[in-house]
């Protein structure tokens, strides 16, 4: 006999936490992202990901934007050139320092950076409501529902969330190559169902990138792929190196083009406040 459980009885918060406990990868902390800031910014600044996201956001010269988990300004910087003001929140000092440096380079004086996390009291951080709240690839949190509720609270008009579609951003072929099991952990479908349980009914757009990723060289590719794992052994690194050699080709200016086992795919989840 199957338990007579209905959808309304599903505890998505518990399911989210259970799935996080079983994931193969380890969530990174502020110090990890401090070290990653420079290489992360370089790789993402040239990615078509930015335009794929921005085409859906209804901004104008009077729009105010709150970018939660801004990183080095992947979305904050291009938005700042086209909106009234951007507030960028991140828990990594290194990411925000890089964002501020890049803002000066592009002569953007309308970006305010705030060192803070999802768990902080944003009122104590002097965060105000904005027209649009964005959380792009930054919802690897223990309490997903609380983070989504916070975004909804601080948005006057729209909320936009970019979430992973498994196995993105990981390459499960690399896990097989080093003989480690791959367990994705929760992805966008948990976010959609959590929102539904909160009586929020979002729209969803699928953003697809190419299967191939260009790296400056093999060292950069290895650094990026090692980021997927925790405590790699020398033997595992050798197997990973062999995997990258077998799945790559030379690019321009001595770069390396790596073909992933699957293309990167992200879900753009968004809703309008008065709906």
Are residues 26 and 46 both part of a single domain? Answer: yes
The sign of the torsion formed by the CA atoms of 115, 121, 124, 129 equals positive
Residues 243 and 159 both lie in one domain: no
Residue 106's nearest CA partner among 84, 80, 71, 69 is 80
* Shared domain check, 114 and 247: no
Distances from the Cα of 185 to the Cα of 12, 191, 204, 237, angstroms: 14, 12, 20, 23
- Residues 52 and 103 grouped into a single domain: yes
Cα(109)–Cα(130) distance, integer angstroms = 17
My answer on whether 143 and 253 are in the same domain is no
Of 184, 182, 175, residue with least CA distance to 239 = 175
Domain containing residue 120: CATH number: 3.40.50.150
Q: Which domain holds residue 23?
A: 7-211+263-272
Say yes or no: 221 and 98 in one domain.
no
The pTM assigned to this predicted structure is 0.90
Instruction: Give tens-digit pLDDT for 217-237.
Output: 999 999 989 888 888 999 999
Write the pLDDT tens digit of every residue in 187-215: 999 999 999 999 999 999 999 998 898 88
Strand stretches in the chain, DSSP E: 64-68, 85-90, 111-115, 130-136, 155-164, 203-208, 212-215, 248-250, 256-259, 265-272
Specify whether 28 is located in the same domain as 153. Answer: yes
Q: Please indicate, yes or no, whether residues 24 and 69 belong to a single structural domain of this protein.
A: yes
Give the pLDDT confidence score for residue 28 in this predicted structure: 61
Q: Are residues 97 and 222 in the same domain?
A: no
Q: Are residues 80 and 15 in the same domain?
A: yes
Domain count for the chain, please give it: 2
Considering the domain architecture, whether residues 162 and 220 belong to the same structural domain is answered as no
| 53 falls within a domain | yes
């Amino acid at each position: 006999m199957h338990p007579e459980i209905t959808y309304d009885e599903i505890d998505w918060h518990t399911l989210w936490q259970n799935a996080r406990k079983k994931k193969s990868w380890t969530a990174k902390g502020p110090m990890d992202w401090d070290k990653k800031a420079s290489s992360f910014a370089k790789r993402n600044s040239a990615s078509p990901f930015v335009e794929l996201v921005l085409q859906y956001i209804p901004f104008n010269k009077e729009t105010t934007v709150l970018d939660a988990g801004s990183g080095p300004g992947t979305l904050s910087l291009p938005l700042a050139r086209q909106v009234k003001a951007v507030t960028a929140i991140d828990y990594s000092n290194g990411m925000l320092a890089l964002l501020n440096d890049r803002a000066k380079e592009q002569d953007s004086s309308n970006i305010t950076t705030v060192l803070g996390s999802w768990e902080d009291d944003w009122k104590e951080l002097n965060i105000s409501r904005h027209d649009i709240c964005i959380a792009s690839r930054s919802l690897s949190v223990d309490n997903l529902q609380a983070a989504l509720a916070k975004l909804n609270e601080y948005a006057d008009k729209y909320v936009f969330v970019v979430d992973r579609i498994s196995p993105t951003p990981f390459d499960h072929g690399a896990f097989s190559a080093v003989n480690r099991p791959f367990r994705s952990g929760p992805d966008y479908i948990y976010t959609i169902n959590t929102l539904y349980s909160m009586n929020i009914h979002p729209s969803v757009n699928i953003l697809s990138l190419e299967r191939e990723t260009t790296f400056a060289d093999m060292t950069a590719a290895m650094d990026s792929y090692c980021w997927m794992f925790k405590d790699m052994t020398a033997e595992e690194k050798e197997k990973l190196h062999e995997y990258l050699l077998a799945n790559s080709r030379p690019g321009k200016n001595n770069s390396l083009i790596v073909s992933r086992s699957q293309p990167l795919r992200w879900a753009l989840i968004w809703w309008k406040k008065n709906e």
